[in-house]
Amino acid sequence: MERKPKNIFVQGAIEAVFIADSIQKHSSKTNIGGHSIFLGQVRADKIDEKEVVAIEYTAYEEMALEKMHVIREEIFAKYNLTCMHVHHSLGKVSAGEICLFVFTSSAHRKAAMEACNELVERIKAELPIWGKELFADESHQWKINQ
């Protein structure tokens, strides 16, 4: 089944109530046997004696959404998923707040877990999304993914 591209972007931090609501909505889907969830959180890293207080995310949105659509289709087919949800922050997200929410569901746990892991790795490696680390002293640097 061909799915249309979905907007994965959220302004600011991803709220816990949004995550809880997403989980709750799946309780009526009785063909699901396993879910896997990844939550990416902004760390208060210390870099050259300066502490990260937030990350400001920007993206080449059109290209990111097109690429995410390709990734979504490939992972849906590879793992025979029931559901997949991806939400990534844009704008400023403070240390301790959630900036990435990936939620996969399948009839079986192993497929849900493997799909979630691959999805997170591909999002980090393939989508044109950048994070500017903001320091307490109001300086900044562009984040390099590990």
Q: Check if CATH label 3.90.1170.40 holds for domain 9-19+32-142.
A: yes
Burial class (CB in 10 A: 0-12, 13-18, 19+), 6: middle
Structural tokens at position 143 = 């984040």
CB atoms within 10 A of CB 146: 4
Tens digits of per-residue pLDDT, 108-135? 999 999 999 999 999 999 999 999 999 9
Provide the 8-state DSSP code for 17.
H
Tens digits of per-residue pLDDT, 63-117? 999 999 999 999 999 999 999 999 999 999 999 999 999 999 999 999 999 999 9
Q: For residue 146, what pLDDT is reported?
A: 62
Q: Quick check: 91 and 14 in contact, CB under 8 A?
A: no
Q: Give the β-pairing of 34-41 and 98-106.
A: antiparallel
- Alpha-carbon torsion (86, 43, 19, 90), positive or negative: negative
Q: pLDDT band at 27, cuts 50/70/90?
A: confident
Among 45-49, 91-95, 140-144, which is the least confidently predicted range?
140-144
Check pLDDT > 70 for residue 34: yes
Check pLDDT > 60 for residue 1: no
Q: For residue 143, what pLDDT is reported?
A: 83
Q: Quick check: 100 and 13 in contact, CB under 8 A?
A: no
Q: pLDDT band at 28, cuts 50/70/90?
A: confident
Q: Quick check: 38 and 87 in contact, CB under 8 A?
A: no
pTM: 0.93
For residue 9, give the H/E element and its range: strand 9-11
> What are the two backbone dihedrals, phi and then psi, of residue 15, each rounded to the nearest 5 degrees?
-80, 145
Check pLDDT > 70 for residue 3: no
For the chain, what is the mean pLDDT?
Answer: 94
Q: Quick check: 96 and 32 in contact, CB under 8 A?
A: no
